[in-house]
Amino acid sequence: MSTWNLDILYTSLDDPKINEDFQKLSQLIAENLELSKTPISKENLEAQLKKIMELVTTSRRIGAYLSLNSSTDTTNPKIAALRGRFMSTITKNTIASTLFDQKVAACDEIENWAKESDLIHEHLFYLNEIKQSASHLLSEKEENVLSQMRQNASNNWSQLQSYLTSTLNVEMGDQNLTLSSVRNLAYDADQNVRKAAYEAEIKAYDKIKDAIAFSLNSIKGEARCVADLRGYESVLEMTLENSRMKKETLDAMMSAIEKSLPKFHEYLRHKAKLLHHEHGLPWYDLFAPMNTGSDTKTYTLEEAHDILIENFRPFSNEIADLIDTAFKDHWIDFYPRPGKVGGAFCSNLPFIKQSRVLTNYDGSFSDIVTLAHELGHAYHGHCIEHHSMLNTGYTMPVAETASTFNETVIMNSAIENAKTNAQKAALIESMLQDVTQVICDIHSRYEFETEVVERRKNEFLFAQQLNEIMIQAQKNAYGDGLDPEVLHPYMWVCKSHYYSAGLNFYNFPYAFGCLFAKGLYAIAEKQGAAFMPKYNSLLSATTTASVEDVALMADIDLTKEDFWMESLNLIGRYIDQWIELTNAEL
């Protein structure tokens, strides 16, 4: 079975339990509102925490089921109608939520009550976060207006981007392909196929670029508006607070990345020479497989399962067991098809102690690494599933830690066990492809979004302007490593990360996750079996601590550039090794 099974949530869109849960959700919202109107006391706070936990569990069950179904069937009108009903229903909790937050923010007794109440003590971090963000809280009427606005604005703009990219017909020769399928051809062994796919993809965006430009402008305009209303200096400041991350940490990481970019340019220039390009690597060869002398086979799902288990079992039985469960219990939707969104993601479902993973698998080793990545998210979910539902939210930066850690495990294991230098070189280059995306491409996306958000204050950015901003950001990030005449001006169209007003700057977390994971892996190599209990505790703490405090559990100071440089230097040594292994080909 290559599609996921969602029966544990509901058996179908016609399952009567969906309507029952909608009715239950409406009742819980009404009861929560009544509790919010009563004066705060220890007993009242305990009662409302229990009510909110039940409400969150019910809403996440409905919301997850509809979201997962929508991601594999974006054109289904019944799903769209149910999602609209769900958003309309959950929005009604905004007033109760705001009143609750106001009560908590004004109460000075919570620390004392926590000494007497296990329930309040368990949720102390959650409650303190409410108190700390109180200065950015609006009135209940204003919060309700914002919530309704988002339902009818950015949420719909986001769905438009998903719909248009998932249904886009890409004409390539005599073939009609989905966008996901044609983007997968970037990994094809034939350069002519890669180039043709790139050209077909770029041409196809002309059909949808203007509509998606309106989506991006509307979403970033809304984000600016909300940040201003809440009293933030910028959208980035709002994002960092929501990420539980200091600006010093972001600055230290970005400074280290900028200093390391020339090393990545060196890798790209060398790859360009191997592929006989004189002016740097053209975009369509970024993911060209360098498999000279090595195995170029594609892998069945059964083989992918075996490879993952074989590579993770020596490292951690717990991670290997979770991967085995995900395959055998049908947590994964593997293959691309019309109406299914592109890319890959993992949705944690802690209320049922499971996750669901979406990929667009085409059998390459890179896709196996993608599976490892997404199953890392699932393992993160496994480590937080014992928490209360109100303590299961981890932030964007740490969200990419377990996933990138998994990538590092499988790639390092595969490289170490390579039978020939040619195989080793191919595996290292596959890893460098991915890391270069996380460092160079993420840097370009961060720069792109920074300029778009800033310029959106005073102007509307049409598709041509967005293309120009993207091309300049790519030139700055990739330097002379890429051919400046063959870049990708439409990366803002196909990346869903830009299209959520609630998740702005969803780019630097990937660099954070990559480099933090590399540092953790270096510690794991030194500590051996003693590392996993610490790692599990660290992942568990991501929902109830700042990213800096989480890192301190591994004796890492994220505000110091030195840590980030150490991780980048680890990657740099792989670049040197790969160049040495492949020099003979020149």
Separation between Cα atoms, residue 518 and residue 570, nearest integer Å: 8
What does each C-alpha distance from 92 to 97, 159, 582 come to in angstroms? 9, 21, 61
Same domain, 420 and 542: yes
User: Does 380 reside within a domain?
Assistant: yes
Same domain, 479 and 515: no
Rounded to the nearest integer, the mean pLDDT of the chain is 94
Percent of the chain with pLDDT over 70: 99
Q: What is the CATH number of the domain that holds 116?
A: 1.20.140.70
Separation between Cα atoms, residue 347 and residue 431, nearest integer Å: 24
The length of the chain is 586
Last residue of a domain, one of 455, 479, 498: 498
Last residue of a domain, one of 498, 532, 555: 498
- What is residue 293's predicted lDDT score, i.e. its pLDDT? 47
pTM for this entry: 0.86
Both tokens of residue 534?
A: 């610490």
User: Does 584 reside within a domain?
Assistant: no
Nearest residue to 441 via CA among 375, 361, 495: 495
- What is residue 123's predicted lDDT score, i.e. its pLDDT? 97
Q: How many domains does the chain have?
A: 3
Last residue of a domain, one of 152, 173, 201: 152
The range of the structural domain enclosing residue 138 comes to: 16-152
Separation between Cα atoms, residue 58 and residue 20, nearest integer Å: 10
- pLDDT above 80: residue 38: yes
Same domain, 262 and 393: no
- The continuous run of DSSP H or E covering 354 comes out as strand 354-358
- State the average pLDDT over residues 381-406: 94
Same domain, 261 and 404: no
pLDDT in tens, 475-488: 999 999 999 999 99
Separation between Cα atoms, residue 207 and residue 212, nearest integer Å: 10
User: Does 84 reside within a domain?
Assistant: yes
Kindly indicate the confidence band of residue 550, based on its pLDDT and cuts at 50, 70 and 90: very high
Separation between Cα atoms, residue 570 and residue 171, nearest integer Å: 42
Cβ atoms within 10 Å, residue 208: 22
Same domain, 450 and 528: no
Q: What is the CATH number of the domain that holds 529?
A: 1.10.1370.40
User: Does 409 reside within a domain?
Assistant: yes
- Residue 541: partners with Cβ closer than 8 Å, 6 or more residues away: 549, 550, 553
Separation between Cα atoms, residue 566 and residue 507, nearest integer Å: 21
Percent of the chain with pLDDT over 90: 86
Compute the chain's Rg from CA coordinates: 24
- What is residue 150's predicted lDDT score, i.e. its pLDDT? 84
User: Does 396 reside within a domain?
Assistant: yes
Burial 467-495 (b: 16+ CB within 10 A, else e): bebbbebbeebbbbbbbeebbbbbbbbbb
